[in-house]
Amino acid sequence: MGRGLARRWVWLSATSFEGAPDRRLEGIVSLRTRLWGGPTSPVSMGYLWSTDGERTDFTISSVNGAVTSRPVPGGIAIESMRLGGPRHRVVATWGDAIPNDIGEGIVQTMHGNLVIDGHRAVPGTVGLEARAWPTVAALAAMPANR
């Protein structure tokens, strides 16, 4: 197997939060890839970037902290712990709209739900994309009138 897409990942982005209009978030977790066609990375990679408009926090797994993830009903829970920095808790779910299956096992939506450290993202401002995440296959197979 040569160069290609990572076998598994979850990407998320949120651009507006209730009561905190300057807050932003982006991250990718559980990424396992074959760098430059070589062997698959031995550990999951990931990052979480967030800002409140004044302070920015950027955690990169195995570089300056850890970003871990686990499946939850309808989505993912993420913990970010930067060495000497803050800890963030994120929960992202697919939301009410059925995610789009864009092929090669990739499912995405721009209508997800997301909460970081108790701050809820404004509906319609959350992007969530996954490939080979445990809750993805079941969601993508749901009938359109769920």
Domain residue limits, the chain: 8-140
Q: What would the two tokens of residue 39 be?
A: 């062997």
Name the fold adopted by 8-140. Lipocalin (2.40.128)
pLDDT band at 84 (very low <50, low <70, confident <90, very high): very high
**pLDDT on residue 35:** 58
Q: Please give the C-alpha separations between residue 79 and each of 33, 49, 97, 131, 143, in angstroms, as whole numbers.
A: 21, 12, 25, 19, 32
Which residues, in sequence order, are CB contacts of 84 under 8 Å at separation 6+? none
For residues 78 and 92, the answer to whether their CB atoms sit within 8 Å is: yes
**∠ CA 114-70-39 to the nearest 5 degrees?**
115
User: Span 72-77, mean pLDDT?
Assistant: 85
Which of 90, 100, 93 has its CA nearest to residue 74? 93
Q: pTM for the full model?
A: 0.80
pLDDT band at 68 (very low <50, low <70, confident <90, very high): confident
